[in-house]
Chain A
Amino acid sequence: MRKGFAEEILSFSLIIFSVIILTIFFASESVLKGGEVTRSVRGRMLDESANLALQTIYDHRLERFEKTYMELILDAQLQGNNETHVYYGRGSGVVHVKEILNPMMNSYFGKGGWKLVVKNRKGNITYGNQQRDFDYKYISNIPILPPVSEKNIGNVTLHV
């Protein structure tokens, strides 16, 4: 009787052990998949944010100057003021580019969570966090004046 009881205990132990092993196996798979899904979702969210940010840079006009963010950035460099400010005449005045651009980009990616590099005929301008390396980058072309010239197309790279 003691031997039969011991066999039953052993059997039950094996069953329980097997169930535990299977549970751990499936749970770990779920966790790993969850990690992948999280990364994938985060990537898609970053894609969406980057597209929205780029759309804002190209489309949104500042009311007082009737210029887009992209025009501000290019004009600041072409006018010879590096990336600091642009003068748009006595009727419009001066606009400080970083004061306009940084809050907008921070609202999408957080402070220090982005870097914007604009490449044109005069070289590169960089805004945002220049110390950090970013995982994703989004590139878009921009026209540069004058139209009929050797380098009339530059590009914008958004690093997030």
Chain B
Amino acid sequence: MSKKGVSILPFAFIALVVSLSIISWSIYNVYFGSKYQTTVFHHSRIDTVSNEVGKNKKFLKQSCLYSSHYSLFENALGGGIIPERGTGSNTWICNAPMPPDMETTKGCVEKYTKFYTNVYFDNYTIDLPVDISKAPYRTSIHNISRGDVFRGAYDEGNINIILEGAKTTLSSDSIQITDNLDQSEMIGKNRFWYLWRKFYKWAGDNVYGKNICKCTSSCKGCDCADVAAQKALDDLQTRFDEYVTCSKACDCCYGCQGSDCGVEGSADCGAYCEPSECLLWEQRKCVSKCNMKCVDPEKRYPEASNISKLTELFRLNSLQEENTGYSEVMDSYMGDDGKGEEGDGDEGNEKCCPIYKENKLSAVYTFTCTDKKYYVPGGSGPQPLTFQVKAFATYRDKDGCGCQLECPCKHCPQNMGETC
């Protein structure tokens, strides 16, 4: 009897086919899969770094907007510039109109826009393991022109801000991306130039100085100065629309009467002088700094750099011309010793001497106008834009307190009131 064997060839063949299939598939997945994974991972990292550059740009865009608004806000509070700390706002009237030029204000606004944007840029960080190097902005431009400002083209804002010069480089392992961060943004709903333009024309008309002069010439003091300031305020208020409210505050007022002086021929009664208009009165009791400059941001913020030395100068337009004449009058008056004694001259002569009494008045007022049409960004959220300027008038009028007749012309009367 013979046994028939079972053929194992089909089974071997099946096992071989299945094994080869699985092995081929595994090799294919391992080789191409890892290569694909490397590529995908590399692209993913590039995307991540690119996204960070994009985020940086968005951050700087918002920084530019905020910096521009804040720079305008601070310039408005400073009266068209940002002065040194503690000096208050800029003085736009120093007897004569002295508002800052449009280019001066524009330069100050641009300077601080750039500074603030760079502060934000400097503080920007990334949490990912990416190295970041930065080059700050070098140029800031508020694209406005003098003619357009005075035509009212920027009364509602709509100012194009351009920042140039900044770059950023992000690097991670073998990836490095450098990007230029120049940007141009538009800010609106900001009436800085509207307020500036109205104040500029108001200062040019010098209602304040003229009324203080009238007070000086009419033998009045600080009460009259307040009325004069009110007139100036009323005039200022009429120049704005219904969204702007103006107010005033007296920073300083000082008035007194100076020495008497007589006329030609009245040898008994003081020095020769003539009636005069309002002249400069140089004194130290009530002053305001004129010709203020826009302080450098690095000096304004000493946490960033050293504070510059302060220079206090008191210069008004008419100072150089009037000072000499004033001294001459004073010297000649002081030199008249013994003029008050009786018995000199013609006795029994009923000649009358006109005596002029000098009046002096100095006043500093701060005029503030707040615009409530558009609130601008601030540290405590949106707030009204406030524009603030100072007006300073210091006058003396040699015949400000009129003429008194002394008959007979024997001696000079005693000075009445406070003298200075």
The answer to whether A55 has its CB under 8 Å from any CB of chain B is yes
Chain B residues with Cβ below 8 Å from A58 are: 58, 61-62
The answer to whether A88 has its CB under 8 Å from any CB of chain B is yes
Do B382 and A89 have beta carbons less than 8 Å apart?
yes
> Which of A96-104, A111-119, A137-145 lines the interface with chain B?
A137-145
Chain A residues with Cβ below 8 Å from B384 are: 89
Considering only CB atoms, which chain A residue lies closest to B376 in the complex?
A: A89
Q: Which of B7, B58, B67 contacts A59 (CB 8 A)?
A: B58
**Contact count band on A:** 35 or more
Contact flag A75-B17 (CB < 8 Å), given A58-B61, A89-B372, A143-B66 = no
**Contact count band on B:** 35 or more
Do B70 and A147 have beta carbons less than 8 Å apart?
yes
Chain B residues with Cβ below 8 Å from A148 are: 116, 119, 301, 303-304
Chain A contacts with B in 115-151, Cβ cutoff 8 A: 139-143, 145-149
Do A71 and B377 have beta carbons less than 8 Å apart?
yes
The answer to whether A65 has its CB under 8 Å from any CB of chain B is yes
What 0/1 readout, one digit per residue, does chain A (1-45) give for beta carbons within 8 Å of chain B?
A: 001000100010011001001100110000000000000000000
The answer to whether B11 has its CB under 8 Å from any CB of chain A is yes
Do B61 and A59 have beta carbons less than 8 Å apart?
yes
Contact flag A22-B21 (CB < 8 Å), given A143-B63, A152-B120 = yes
Do A147 and B67 have beta carbons less than 8 Å apart?
yes
Do A145 and B70 have beta carbons less than 8 Å apart?
yes
Do A153 and B116 have beta carbons less than 8 Å apart?
no
Do B380 and A79 have beta carbons less than 8 Å apart?
yes
Which among A3, A21, A76, A91 has the greatest number of chain B C-beta atoms within 10 A?
Answer: A91
Q: List 5 A-B contacts (CB under 8 A).
A: A25-B22, A26-B25, A141-B59, A141-B124, A145-B66
Query: Using a CB–CB distance below 8 Å, which chain B residues touch chain A?
Result: 4, 6-7, 10-11, 14, 17-18, 21-22, 25, 51, 54-55, 58-59, 61-63, 65-67, 70, 115-117, 119-120, 123-125, 127, 188-189, 243, 301, 303-304, 372-375, 377-382, 384
Query: Using a CB–CB distance below 8 Å, which chain A residues touch chain B?
Result: 3, 7, 11, 14-15, 18, 21-22, 25-26, 51, 54-55, 58-59, 65-66, 68, 70-71, 74-80, 86-92, 139-143, 145-149, 152-153
Nearest 5 interchain pairs by C-beta:
A79-B381, A78-B381, A147-B116, A91-B373, A11-B10
